[in-house]
Amino acid sequence: MEAAGANGQAKTEQNQRSVIPGPTNPMVSPLLSDLYQFTMAYAYWKAGKHNERAVFDLYFRKNPFGGEYTIFAGLEECIRLIANFKFTEEEIAFIRATLPKTCEDGFYDYLRRIDCSDVEVYSISEGSVVFPKVPLLRVEGPVAVVQLLETPFLNLINYASLVATNASRHRFVAGKSKLLLEFGLRRAQGPDGAIGASKYSYIGGFDATSNVEAGRLFGIPIRGTHSHAFVSSFMSHDEIMEKSLQNRDGSSTCEDFFSLVRTWLSKLKWSHSLLGIFGETNQSELVAFTSYALAFPSDFLALVDTYDVMRSGIPNFCAVALALNDLGYKAVGIRLDSGDLAYLSCEARKFFCTIEKEFGVQDFGKTSITASNDLNEETLDALNKQGHEVDAFGIGTYLVTCYAQAALGCVFKLVEINNQPRIKLSEDISKVSIPCKKRCYRLYGKEGFPLVDIMTGENEPVPKVGERILCRHPFSESKRAYVVPQHVEELLKCFWPGNPDKKREELPPLKEIRNRCVQQLEQMRPDHMRRLNPTPYKVSVSARLYDFIHFLWLNEAPVGELQ
């Protein structure tokens, strides 16, 4: 009895752990869809086809930003949606009012019973490097239900994958050692765009965000300092009401911290090494920096370009930082938000190094320099070519709006129904779908780099390490190659099995997804990653699937008749 009770408790705990919360954004509901999904659902129901078993692939046709890779993101939100997919009475009433009056009452009873208990979702792991034509998701289930998932799934994956890819490209150009900060909240397309941008920029390799709500929701580190308004809001040292600051170790208190700051400013001005570099600094800026340091002595980072970076901002910052140093604190650094960032960062670094050498302040030359001001991939590349001393980049508009490309263009195509493969044809070959339920593999070479992604029919043998396999371009007869893989990775895993007794992949924490993205990018061959003229990554099908695609293509395409 005790053993049975223990087993029952363990099963209850397991079920509790497996409960999946609803979507992060409450706007994501079964109604976040296009009208034609509901008109099709009714037509399926009316024709008695609504429960026919269908298989759909979600994929994209071309990598974004002129590159040769994409980062897959948005899976967790899709699983959260289907785990909680259920129409409320209010939602059903709205659908009834929207559809034509001729729609029968039985359809709305059908909608009341709908959930995703009979849907299966096989997916590539979130945070993976992915390529065109390879299914990101394979969704199986009753055709009417799966069609209702089409639009929300596309909505949840298109932007997420686009911004994660954009972030990864910025990380690649900036380099591994630089701190990347997402500063896009005020420029994003609405609150949901801002929240998504913070989350998926973090997956793509950014280190922190200014977005406090994103920090709360996802545990992303939050960073930020003050604005120009804070600096220009001060006019006189009389505005500093509380001038005392306790030593970091609590041993004593400096009763007039502002006087200590001014003493240091005078030392800097008449320093032999710095003589003639600056004259009278802006005193209201000095007051603002002092006030901010009094509020945040352990986190003092100053925006130094409100008036003049080298003649005022840097000397004023250094005076405050040195006064803090006397009391056992270490200033974090400066932020540059305008001007010639390469030149100013180099001059600021020289200033810091001179102070370290002349006054013996340990590591002052390593004081952090952050740059912002409408940065993008191109400006980061230009800064690298010019030479700079920036340690961290705050990037906003061009990152979160994906300014260089508006959308990824994921599509959701029927590839099988009632075990019968289906194909979508087009005069544009890039829009021809790859039919049937497929398995997808990544084949790795001797040096550990991925060589090719290959799609096979569901029942074909799994590619084996050390055995030669013919990889064919899906549509070009002459493009083919033999590959002898040294490692084979199956890409599609079951994240939603429909049947609760069937094993599924657990949704990993956000940091684990981010780490996966970083590791996958490091595995890629450098020529696939370069910004200009990257080598296209090969996506192929097995010989058997190639033959079947073209058999079905000829079978489905109408035959013309010449008169």
Tokens 């399926």: give the residue.
Answer: 44
Per-residue pLDDT reduced to its tens digit, 343-397: 999 999 999 999 999 999 999 999 999 999 999 999 999 999 999 999 999 999 9
pLDDT of residue 514: 98
Whether 498 has a pLDDT exceeding 90, the answer reads: no
Q: Cα separation of 106 and 108, whole Å?
A: 5
Residue 14: per-residue pLDDT: 43
Confidence check: pLDDT of 11 > 50: no
Nearest to 71 by CA among 526, 531, 514: 514
Mean pLDDT of 424-441: 94
pLDDT value at position 275?
84
**pLDDT for res 17:** 40
Q: How far apart are CA 124 and CA 392, in angstroms?
A: 32
What pLDDT does 98 receive? 98
DSSP string of 409-466, one letter each residue? --EEEEEEETTEE-----SSGGG----S-EEEEEEE-TTS-EEEEEEEETTSPPP-TT
Q: How far apart are CA 49 and CA 43, in angstroms?
A: 8
Q: Are 226 and 306 in contact (CB under 8 A)?
A: no
CA dist list (Å): 479 to 188, 296, 428, 534, 543: 42, 62, 18, 19, 12
Q: Specify whether the CB–CB gap between 378 and 386 falls below 8 A.
A: no
Read off the pLDDT of residues 225-245 as tens digits, 9 standing for 90 and up. 999 999 999 999 999 999 999
What's residue 80's pLDDT?
97
In our burial notation (b when 16+ CB lie closer than 10 A, e otherwise), range 49-60 reads ebeeebbbbbbb
**Contact between 118 and 65 (Cβ < 8 Å):** no
Q: Which burial class, exposed, middle or buried, applies to 26 when counting CB atoms under 10 A from its CB (0-12, 13-18, 19+)?
A: exposed
Of 450, 462, 461, nearest in space to 487 by CA: 450
pLDDT digits (tens, 9 = 90+) for 154-172: 999 999 999 999 999 999 9
Q: In this structure, are residues 142 and 84 in contact, taking their beta carbons and an 8 Å threshold?
A: no
Give pLDDT, residue 500. 78
Q: Measured between alpha carbons, how far is 421 from 552 in angstroms, rounded to an integer?
A: 8
* Confidence grade of residue 18 (pLDDT, cut at 50, 70, 90): low
Of 161, 170, 166, 160, whose CA–CA distance to 392 is shortest? 170
pLDDT of residue 218 exceeding 60, the answer is yes
CB 395 within 8 A of CB 372: yes
pLDDT tens digits, residue range 111-131? Answer: 999 999 999 999 999 999 999
* Residue 560 pLDDT grade (very low, low, confident, very high; cuts 50, 70, 90): confident
Residue with tokens 């397991």: 14
Answer whether 44's CB lies under 8 Å from 50's CB: yes
Q: Which residues pair with 57 in a beta bridge?
A: 138, 413
pLDDT exceeds cutoff 80 at 8: no
C-alpha triplet 552, 553, 558: angle, nearest 5°: 115
pLDDT in tens, 273-332: 898 889 999 999 999 999 999 999 999 999 999 999 999 999 999 999 999 999 999 999
Mean pLDDT of 526-551: 96
Mean of per-residue pLDDT scores for the chain: 95
Nearest to 335 by CA among 222, 226, 233, 230: 226
Per-residue confidence (pLDDT) for residue 400, from 0 to 100: 98
Mean pLDDT of 426-444: 94
Looking at the chain, the whole-number percentage of residues with pLDDT higher than 90 is 93
Task: List, in order of start, the domains of the chain with CATH numbers.
Answer: 2-168+405-556 (3.20.140.10), 225-390 (3.20.20)
Once rounded to an integer, what is the mean pLDDT over residues 83-110? 98
Question: Per-residue pLDDT tens for 191-204?
Answer: 999 999 999 999 99
Confidence of residue 6 (pLDDT cuts 50, 70, 90): very low
DSSP string over 84-121 = T----HHHHHHHHHHS-TTS-HHHHHHHHH--STT-EE
Between strands 538-542 and 450-457, the pairing is parallel
Start-end of H helices in 360-410: 377-386, 397-400
Distance CA 437, CA 416 (A): 7
Which tokens is 421 given? Answer: 């493969």
Identify the bridge partners of residue 442 per DSSP, sorted by sequence position: 453, 489
Strands 333-336 and 301-303: parallel
The residue type found at 106 is G
Residue 46 vs residues 31, 43, 59: alpha-carbon distances, Å: 20, 5, 30
3-state SS assignment for residue 282: coil
